[in-house]
């Protein structure tokens, strides 16, 4: 489409936002965009509608159809309300839970959503202030609601906000509900279709009883109470990175029995501007810098961080030299599942019907640990809604031990259906006490897992391509990787290619194709090499980037061999990157 045609269409669309059905502030901001000589912001704000996708909404805040604001959030809520009224037509009172994180406008979006649900005759249980995302999932199940939403953009930059929709089991929506909700949202063609006239008697503010019930249920997960009592004085630094974790995580750790929780006061300030970090992402070293400095100053053993909506965990532990190193998501996932499986075994809780879950881009070392312990492993797509789907399919058939993904999310309990940094922080603290009982640090525990099951190094690389042109470039990159597949990875022949976009697996040695057993298609491509190297490629579903996951495997006979294996893996990763052109 020529720029002049696009601009004309964008201007026409923007002018509809000048009508009296929009509030004065919105109209003034839209007019300012129309008057601006540089049309870049105008085009980015209106060139498309912010899509209510299978994960809900996520976008930059501002005026316009392609931005997060009370009208795009309103359309999403009205569409969801319409679907709930159809799906539960015979139910006397439909109810939903609404929660939100620390971001700018999150409370506003939550309250507007509450107004719209109530205007449609739906009872709303609204958290009185910010709360961890997993607690919204917990409350939906606890209160017997049909749906729920959380206003959050997770660990995205401060300009973003988002809208996650949940179903009655506390999991984010999947088929058929996701597509059906999207269809309803797409039918909201005008702001006049949105009912903002709240029925306040249908909106109930939740109190501390939900918090107390949640923490009480989390305490039931503990497997090493005696170790916690012996090492209750372990020094743990925790930072919420300005987010919702501050509301529950320090309290949960203390209730579990840990007495020496050290905060980072500057990052305990609740703020959607995230003033002490460039990005509030616990995957990034810079986000944990202040917490690590605090740990060094106080002689702490362990550093933990949660992202703004407190569903992801970041951690740092001391290495053999006493220096803090950051654990990546694959390492925490490995430690968590190793510990849970080991303790279930030691406590004689295994019956042969237990299972764990990981995502297809997470470390294959998890599969080795599960197989050697006769635990069933399920692989699923990235995103905790797929882990929750595995849990749903196995309800009352198999017993869930735990599940997680490389992107720093883990779930240790089955009474929540989304990743949970509250329980993950409690679990990691418990593991530190358990390891100390064996005269090990968490770092040494990880090393011993590598010695027993094999060494693995994983790295994620994100290539950012923002805006309309960026989305087109990412699409072209995926097309090129499919049309010109890799034949080798760092000198090792590619022996199997998995294309989840068409659910076809190709054995390059036998030149045979198989059908991949997955619930639906997904835009993910994987290359598996003869030496165990794995590369996964996928566009992000929530950010303007394409992600590459590289995984290298080797064997080590002792802790002393790990440093050499790590150095060799680094070299190999660079060779793989070169072959991929990234």
Band (470; pLDDT cuts 50, 70, 90): confident
Whether 532 is covered by a domain: the verdict is: yes
- The residue from 391, 424, 453 where one domain ends is 453
Whether 218 is covered by a domain: the verdict is: no
Whether 202 is covered by a domain: the verdict is: yes
Q: Are residues 447 and 461 in the same domain?
A: no
With a pLDDT cut of 70, the percent of the chain lying above it is 99
* The pLDDT value given to residue 468: 74
CB 453 within 8 A of CB 365: yes
Q: Are residues 348 and 246 in the same domain?
A: yes
Band (165; pLDDT cuts 50, 70, 90): very high
CB 437 within 8 A of CB 227: yes
Structure tokens at 473: 């470039």
* The pLDDT value given to residue 169: 97
* The pLDDT value given to residue 1: 43
Q: Are residues 35 and 77 in the same domain?
A: no
Q: Which residues contact 449 (CB under 8 A, 6 or more apart)?
A: 334, 335, 338, 369
pTM: 0.94
Helices (H), 352-459: 365-372, 384-393, 421-437, 442-453
Mean pLDDT, all residues of the chain:
96
**pLDDT tens sequence across 356-387:** 999 999 999 999 999 999 999 999 998 899 99
Whether 219 is covered by a domain: the verdict is: no
- The residue from 419, 436, 453 where one domain ends is 453
Whether 226 is covered by a domain: the verdict is: no
Band (465; pLDDT cuts 50, 70, 90): confident
Q: Are residues 55 and 153 in the same domain?
A: yes
Q: Report how many domains make up the chain.
A: 4
- Asked if pLDDT for residue 40 goes beyond 50, the answer is yes
Whether 223 is covered by a domain: the verdict is: no
- Asked if pLDDT for residue 256 goes beyond 60, the answer is yes
Q: Which residues contact 516 (CB under 8 A, 6 or more apart)?
A: 498, 500, 503, 504, 505
CB 152 within 8 A of CB 162: yes
Q: Are residues 511 and 389 in the same domain?
A: no
Domain of residue 574: give its range.
Answer: 455-580
**pLDDT tens sequence across 193-242:** 999 999 999 999 999 999 999 999 999 999 999 999 999 999 999 999 99
CB 51 within 8 A of CB 186: no
Q: Are residues 244 and 143 in the same domain?
A: no
- Compute the residue count for the chain: 582
What is the domain-level CATH number for residue 399? 3.40.120.10
**pLDDT tens sequence across 66-75:** 999 999 999 9
**What 3 state SS string does 53-107 have?**
ECCEEEEEECCCCCCECHHHHHHHHHHHHHHHHHHCCCCCCCEEEEEECCCCCHH
The one-character DSSP state at 312 is B
* The pLDDT value given to residue 466: 81
Residue of 154, 224, 421, 423 with catalytic role: 154
For β-strands 123-126 and 409-411, DSSP reports them as unpaired
Whether 224 is covered by a domain: the verdict is: no
Structure tokens at 482: 């499919």
| 295 three-state secondary structure | helix
Structure tokens at 179: 């597509």
- The residue from 212, 244, 260 where one domain ends is 212
Q: Using CA atoms, how far apart are residues 301 and 280, in angstroms rounded to an integer?
A: 23
CB 473 within 8 A of CB 465: yes
Active-site annotation holds for 154:
yes
* The pLDDT value given to residue 2: 58
Q: Are residues 248 and 333 in the same domain?
A: yes
Q: 133-142 and 421-437 helices cross at what angle (nearest 10)? A: 110
**pLDDT tens sequence across 523-569:** 999 999 999 999 999 998 767 889 999 999 999 999 999 999 999 99
Q: Are residues 78 and 66 in the same domain?
A: yes
**pLDDT tens sequence across 257-311:** 999 999 999 999 999 999 999 999 999 999 999 999 999 999 999 999 999 999 9
User: What's the Rg (C-alpha) of the chain?
Assistant: 24
String of DSSP letters for 141-172:
HHTT-SEEEEE--TTS-TTEEEEEEEETTSSB
Q: Are residues 311 and 258 in the same domain?
A: yes
Q: Are residues 148 and 132 in the same domain?
A: yes
Whether 354 is covered by a domain: the verdict is: yes
Q: Are residues 111 and 23 in the same domain?
A: no
CB 211 within 8 A of CB 135: yes
Structure tokens at 339: 């510990």
Q: Which residues contact 341 (CB under 8 A, 6 or more apart)?
A: 356, 369, 370, 373, 375, 401
Instruction: Find, among 373, 445, 444, 364, the residue nearest to 406 by Cα.
Output: 364
Q: Are residues 289 and 339 in the same domain?
A: yes
């Amino acid at each position: 489409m020529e720029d002049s045609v696009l601009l004309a269409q964008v201007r026409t669309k923007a002018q509809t936002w000048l009508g009296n059905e929009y509030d004065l502030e919105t109209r003034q901001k839209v007019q300012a965009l129309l008057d601006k000589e540089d049309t870049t912001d105008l085009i980015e704000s209106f060139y498309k509608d912010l899509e209510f996708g299978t994960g809900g909404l996520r976008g930059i805040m501002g005026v316009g159809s392609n931005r997060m604001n009370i009208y795009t959030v309103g359309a999403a809520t009205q569409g969801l309300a319409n679907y709930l009224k159809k799906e539960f037509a015979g139910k006397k009172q439909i109810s939903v839970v609404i929660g939100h994180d620390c971001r700018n406008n999150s409370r506003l979006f939550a309250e507007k959503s509450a107004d719209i649900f109530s205007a449609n005759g739906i009872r709303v249980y609204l958290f009185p202030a910010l709360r961890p995302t997993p607690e919204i999932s917990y409350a939906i199940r606890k209160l017997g609601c049909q749906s729920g939403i959380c206003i959050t953009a997770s660990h995205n930059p401060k300009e973003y906000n988002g809208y996650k929709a949940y179903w009655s089991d506390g999991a984010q929506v999947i088929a058929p509900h996701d597509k059906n909700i999207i269809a309803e949202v797409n039918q909201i063609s005008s702001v006049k279709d949105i009912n903002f006239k709240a029925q306040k008697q249908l909106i109930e503010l939740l109190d501390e009883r939900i918090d107390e019930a949640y923490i009480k249920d989390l305490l039931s997960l503990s497997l090493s109470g005696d170790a916690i009592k012996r090492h209750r004085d372990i020094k743990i630094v925790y930072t919420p990175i300005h987010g919702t974790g501050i509301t529950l995580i320090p309290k949960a750790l203390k209730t579990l029995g840990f007495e020496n929780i050290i905060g980072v006061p500057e990052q305990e300030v609740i703020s959607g501007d995230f003033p002490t970090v460039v990005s509030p992402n616990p995957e990034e070293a810079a986000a944990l810098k202040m917490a690590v400095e605090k740990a060094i100053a106080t002689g702490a053993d362990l550093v933990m961080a949660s992202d703004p909506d407190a569903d992801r965990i970041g951690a740092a532990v001391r290495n053999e030299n006493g220096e803090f190193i950051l654990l990546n998501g694959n390492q925490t996932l490995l430690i968590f599942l190793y510990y849970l499986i080991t303790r279930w075994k030691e406590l004689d809780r295994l019956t042969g019907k237990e299972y764990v879950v990981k995502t297809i881009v997470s470390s294959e070392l998890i599969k080795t640990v599960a197989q050697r312990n006769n635990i069933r492993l399920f692989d699923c797509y990235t995103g905790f809604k797929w882990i929750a789907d595995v849990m749903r399919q196995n309800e009352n058939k198999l017993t869930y031990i735990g599940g997680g993904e490389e992107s720093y999310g883990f779930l240790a309990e089955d009474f929540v259906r989304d990743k949970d940094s509250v329980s993950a922080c409690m679990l990691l603290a418990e593991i530190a006490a358990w390891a100390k009982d064996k005269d090990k640090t968490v770092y040494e525990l990880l090393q011993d897992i590598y010695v027993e099951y094999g060494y693995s190094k994983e790295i994620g690389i994100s290539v950012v391509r923002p805006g309309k042109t960026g989305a087109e470039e990412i699409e072209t990159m995926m097309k090129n990787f499919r049309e010109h597949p890799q034949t080798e990875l760092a000198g090792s022949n590619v022996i199997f290619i998995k294309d989840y976009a068409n659910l076809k697996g190709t054995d390059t040695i036998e030149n045979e194709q198989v059908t991949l057993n997955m619930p639906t298609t997904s835009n993910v491509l994987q290359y598996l090499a003869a030496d165990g190297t794995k590369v996964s490629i996928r566009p992000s579903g929530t950010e303007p980037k394409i992600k590459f996951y590289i995984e290298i495997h080797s064997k080590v006979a002792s802790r002393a061999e790990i440093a050499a294996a790590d150095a060799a893996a680094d070299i190999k990763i660079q060779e793989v990157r070169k072959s991929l052109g990234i």
